[in-house]
């Protein structure tokens, strides 16, 4: 038997092997235990009965877990289900296969699996082998062959010719080995989806570039970027669209880095939808802010995904002087904190790190932990604010407003709803709101308080992207015995902008099921009357910013009056929000408004008595 055959190599002990196997009927969590128990284990043989199905490599398994919800999807399910989304390695070589043939067969695989481990059958037993070990064994075998053929070269021309062939094979394998090592090094430092530096590569670059910049009397800055509502796009449109978006973001960041020059700026994907720019900064905070603004403009330009335009928000945190930190991790942490501070801000999406931000983050972490417990503890409450019809002096609808009953007092939804979206609790909380409000209205109707009164329910951006939302709300109404026509579903224009077409489908289905639809906070953000044509709204709620000056000396009422007139032409009910003064109420009534809501009408409260005297507008006729 030739000493370059696999059997000889295995018996000599010059090649590490493993025989670890698992049944296809086991749960996927056992895989993780096996890999954790033996860190050097490159893969596991998957068996079905007495038959071998193939080899599941460590890299493929970990890649499956790293996907969004990968651990939740795979770990507690049978291995059989995991194999529907990952590919097994099936290259199996026999013990009499020559080493060069084995190496070439392994290297001939597809690029993505070329350097994965393979299977070798020796003495009736199947072994797991690393390609690098085979290449090293082959290199050793070739060296021995070369030595032998050198001794015989002067005696045989044929041996000399064989030597030339062996040398050529050795050179080729050496080149392949160098290429494999270079590729492995590249893969270790780069993100496979976007091609940008990964976290490990980024930290390596930070260390080297910061040292080089300081030696030249310069400094480096860090920009930490997070894509707002990426999870919503990824979950609603699918991971393939989410990946397409991440690649496009990476391309735009690479273009910005190229503008600054490879030696001055580098882009990296930190994790998930988080990216980092590391750039040389010579002119302090002003230069850093200018760079951040350029990045923000680039990344908020609409993206074409599956042939449709989508707008994405971006939050950016910055550390202006990385050399200030002795530990790179601390610089990254502070940039991350600044980014989350920007993410929570309503009007500032770029933030330079300040030490005071640490306390804000600590409070937010504590708030998130308490919010998760609030769901299970039943700490949420609903308060109801009336929308008054001043012509009839009757309540047109009660808006259900979410409150959190905390040990230190009641917290309104605007202080925690964004956090609820980030933690994935919005749908659970939102459906609780629907059910609780429906039960309350049934109680109100049973007392004889306005059988035609409606309840108005706010729907978040995450919910409006859920295609099953209409049926979920309709099912709750059926279970609580409340007809859909008694419910108004309120959405804001901003929540529908994430995916206008999907939002249109959801709203149209709600309309078909009999629910009334309201466009809330009209007059803020990107408000446009064209939205009233695009979506089947019944009610338009004018934001308090357009009604605040009405009734004040020198205050303008033209905008509110114009919106009222156009809305009435479209057959919409119009609600004036933010009514806080009697003169404001009188002036709006004179303009033609009959539906009003605000603290002057009534503050939100857990319940309303049967007999309530509401303020009356000047010139209001007595109700019949």
Instruction: Give the pLDDT of residue 422.
Output: 75
First to last CA, the chain: 109
258's CB contacts (< 8 A; 6+ apart) are none
Domain of 166?
Answer: 6-189
| 91 and 184 both lie in a single domain | yes
| 155 and 217 both lie in a single domain | no
Instruction: Give the pLDDT of residue 1.
Output: 41
Output 518 or 328, whichever has higher pLDDT.
Answer: 518
Domain termination site, one of 134, 162, 189:
189
pLDDT at 32 over 60: yes
Q: What mean pLDDT, rounded, does the chain reach?
A: 84
Domain termination site, one of 156, 189, 222:
189
Instruction: Give the pLDDT of residue 478.
Output: 96
Number of domains into which the chain is organized: 3
| Sheet of strand 350-352, all strands in order from the earlier edge strand to the far edge | 265-271, 274-281, 219-228, 313-319, 350-352
Distance (Å, whole) CA 33 – CA 475: 42
Instruction: Give the pLDDT of residue 624.
Output: 47
Element (H, E) at 224: strand 219-228
| 101 and 241 both lie in a single domain | no
Cβ–Cβ < 8 Å for 577, 541: yes
pLDDT at 120 over 80: yes
Reduced to 3 states (helix: H, G, I; strand: E, B; else coil), residue 236 is helix
Residue with tokens 């978006």: 245
Digit-coded pLDDT (tens) for 553-577: 766 788 888 888 888 888 899 999 9
Instruction: Give the pLDDT of residue 622.
Output: 55
Asked if residue 194 belongs to a domain, the reply is no
| 345 and 388 both lie in a single domain | no
Output 616 or 114, whichever has higher pLDDT.
Answer: 616
| 429 and 522 both lie in a single domain | yes
Asked if residue 347 belongs to a domain, the reply is yes
Digit-coded pLDDT (tens) for 267-323: 999 888 999 998 887 777 888 899 999 999 999 999 888 788 888 889 999 998 887
Asked if residue 623 belongs to a domain, the reply is no
Asked if residue 108 belongs to a domain, the reply is yes
Asked if residue 251 belongs to a domain, the reply is yes
Digit-coded pLDDT (tens) for 565-610: 888 888 899 999 999 999 999 999 999 999 999 999 999 999 887 6
Distance (Å, whole) CA 245 – CA 239: 10
| 432 and 482 both lie in a single domain | yes
Indicate the pairing of strand 219-228 with strand 92-94: unpaired
Per-residue pLDDT, averaged over 201-208, amounts to 82
Asked if residue 624 belongs to a domain, the reply is no
Q: 479 exposed, middle or buried (CB, 10 Å; 0-12, 13-18, 19+)?
A: exposed
Per-residue pLDDT, averaged over 334-354, amounts to 86
| 45 and 74 both lie in a single domain | yes
Q: What does each C-alpha distance from 432 to 380, 382, 429, 447 come to in angstroms? A: 9, 10, 5, 23
Query: Picking from 75-84, 194-203, 615-624, which range would have the lowest pLDDT averaged per residue?
Result: 615-624
Cβ–Cβ < 8 Å for 149, 159: yes
Digit-coded pLDDT (tens) for 136-173: 877 777 777 777 777 776 666 677 788 788 788 887 87
Asked if residue 534 belongs to a domain, the reply is yes
Report the 10 Å Cβ neighbour count for 296.
19
Cα dihedral sign, 121-125-128-129: negative
Domain termination site, one of 143, 168, 189:
189
Instruction: State the pLDDT confidence band at 487, using cuts at 50, 70 and 90.
Output: very high
HSE at residue 67, side-chain half, CA atoms within 13 A, is 20
Reduced to 3 states (helix: H, G, I; strand: E, B; else coil), residue 622 is coil
Distance (Å, whole) CA 254 – CA 454: 53
| 395 and 317 both lie in a single domain | no
Distance (Å, whole) CA 276 – CA 318: 10
| CATH code of the domain covering residue 409 | 3.20.20.450
Looking at the chain, the whole-number percentage of residues with pLDDT higher than 70 is 92
- Which stretches of 483-543 are DSSP H helices? 493-496, 500-512, 530-534
Instruction: Give the pLDDT of residue 276.
Output: 93
Output 569 or 530, whichever has higher pLDDT.
Answer: 569
Instruction: Give the pLDDT of residue 529.
Output: 65
Cβ–Cβ < 8 Å for 190, 201: yes
405's CB contacts (< 8 A; 6+ apart) are 379, 380, 381
| 266 and 388 both lie in a single domain | no
| 514 and 417 both lie in a single domain | yes
pLDDT at 527 over 60: no
Distance (Å, whole) CA 178 – CA 44: 27
- In degrees, rounded to 5, the angle at the alpha carbon of residue 617 between the alpha carbons of residues 614 and 619 is 135
Per-residue pLDDT, averaged over 436-442, amounts to 94
Residue with tokens 């306005």: 450
| 180 and 213 both lie in a single domain | no
The strand pairing partners of 394, in sequence order, are: 389
Instruction: Give the pLDDT of residue 539.
Output: 95
Q: 231 exposed, middle or buried (CB, 10 Å; 0-12, 13-18, 19+)?
A: middle
pTM above 0.75, yes or no: no
DSSP string, 97-129: SBHHHHHHHHHTS-GGGTTS-EEEEETTEEEEE
Looking at the chain, the whole-number percentage of residues with pLDDT higher than 90 is 27
Instruction: State the pLDDT confidence band at 619, using cuts at 50, 70 and 90.
Output: low
HSE at residue 38, side-chain half, CA atoms within 13 A, is 14
Distance (Å, whole) CA 223 – CA 236: 28
Asked if residue 409 belongs to a domain, the reply is yes
- In degrees, rounded to 5, the angle at the alpha carbon of residue 105 between the alpha carbons of residues 104 and 109 is 110
| CATH code of the domain covering residue 205 | 3.30.70.270
| 344 and 212 both lie in a single domain | yes
pLDDT at 389 over 70: yes
Digit-coded pLDDT (tens) for 213-254: 555 556 788 899 999 878 777 877 788 888 999 999 999 999
Distance (Å, whole) CA 564 – CA 552: 19
| CATH code of the domain covering residue 76 | 3.10.580.10
């Amino acid at each position: 038997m030739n000493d370059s055959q696999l059997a000889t190599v295995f018996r000599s002990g010059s090649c590490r092997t493993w025989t670890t196997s698992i049944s296809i009927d086991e749960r996927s969590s056992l895989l993780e235990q096996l890999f954790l128990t033996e860190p050097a284990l490159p893969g596991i043989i998957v068996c079905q009965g007495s038959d071998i199905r193939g080899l599941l490599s460590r890299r493929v398994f970990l890649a499956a877990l790293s996907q969004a919800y990968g651990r939740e999807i795979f770990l507690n399910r049978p291995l059989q289900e995991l194999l529907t989304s990952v590919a097994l390695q099936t290259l199996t070589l026999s013990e009499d296969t020559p080493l060069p043939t084995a190496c070439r067969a392994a290297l001939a695989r597809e690029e993505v699996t070329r350097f994965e481990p393979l299977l070798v059958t020796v003495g009736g037993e199947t072994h797991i082998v690393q390609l690098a070990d085979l290449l090293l064994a082959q290199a050793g075998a070739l060296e021995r062959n070369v030595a032998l053929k050198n001794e015989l070269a002067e005696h045989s021309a044929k041996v000399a010719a064989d030597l030339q062939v062996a040398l050529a094979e050795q050179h080729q394998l050496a080149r392949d080995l160098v290429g494999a090592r270079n590729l492995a090094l590249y893969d270790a430092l780069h993100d496979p989806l976007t091609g940008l530096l990964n976290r490990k590569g980024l930290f390596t670059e930070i260390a080297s570039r910061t040292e080089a910049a300081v030696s030249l009397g310069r400094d480096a800055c860090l920009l930490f970027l997070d894509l707002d509502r990426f999870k919503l796009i990824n979950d609603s449109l699918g991971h393939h669209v989410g990946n397409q978006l991440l690649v496009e973001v990476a391309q735009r960041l690479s273009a910005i880095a190229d503008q600054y020059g490879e030696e001055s700026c580098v882009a990296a994907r930190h994790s998930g939808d988080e990216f980092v720019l590391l750039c040389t900064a010579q002119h302090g905070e002003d230069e850093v802010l200018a760079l951040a603004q350029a990045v923000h403009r680039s990344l908020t330009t609409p993206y074409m995904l599956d042939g449709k335009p989508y707008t994405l928000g971006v939050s950016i945190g910055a550390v202006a002087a990385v050399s200030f930190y002795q530990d790179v991790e601390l610089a990254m942490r502070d940039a991350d904190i600044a980014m989350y501070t920007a993410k929570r801000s309503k009007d500032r999406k770029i933030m330079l790190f300040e030490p005071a931000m640490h306390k804000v983050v600590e409070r937010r972490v504590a708030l998130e932990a308490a919010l998760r417990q609030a769901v299970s503890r039943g700490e949420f409450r609903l308060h109801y604010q009336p929308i008054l019809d001043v012509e009839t002096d009757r309540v047109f609808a009660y808006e259900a407003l979410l409150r959190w009953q905390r040990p230190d007092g009641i917290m309104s939804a605007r202080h925690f709803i964004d956090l609820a979206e980030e933690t994935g609790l919005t749908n659970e909380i939102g459906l609780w709101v629907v059910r609780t409000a429906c039960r309350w209205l049934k109680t109100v109707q049973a007392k004889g308080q306005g059988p035609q009164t409606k309840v108005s329910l706010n729907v978040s951006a995450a919910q409006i992207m859920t295609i099953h939302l209409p049926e979920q709300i309709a099912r709750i109404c059926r279970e609580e015995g409340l007809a859909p026509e008694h419910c108004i579903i309120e959405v804001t224009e901003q929540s529908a902008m994430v995916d206008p077409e999907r939002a249109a489908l959801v709203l149209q289905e709600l309309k078909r099921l009999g629910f009334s639809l309201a466009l809330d906070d009209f007059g803020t953000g990107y408000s446009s009357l064209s939205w009233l044509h695009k979506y089947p709204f019944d009610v338009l709620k004018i934001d308090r910013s357009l009604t605040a000056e009405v009734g004040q000396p020198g205050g303008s009422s033209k905008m509110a009056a114009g919106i009222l007139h156009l809305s009435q032409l479209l057959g919409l009910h119009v609600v004036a929000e933010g009514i806080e003064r009697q003169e404001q109420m009188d002036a709006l009534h004179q303009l033609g408004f009959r539906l009003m809501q605000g603290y002057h009408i009534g503050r939100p409260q857990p319940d309303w008595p049967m007999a309530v005297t509401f303020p009356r507008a000047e010139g209001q006729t007595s109700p019949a």
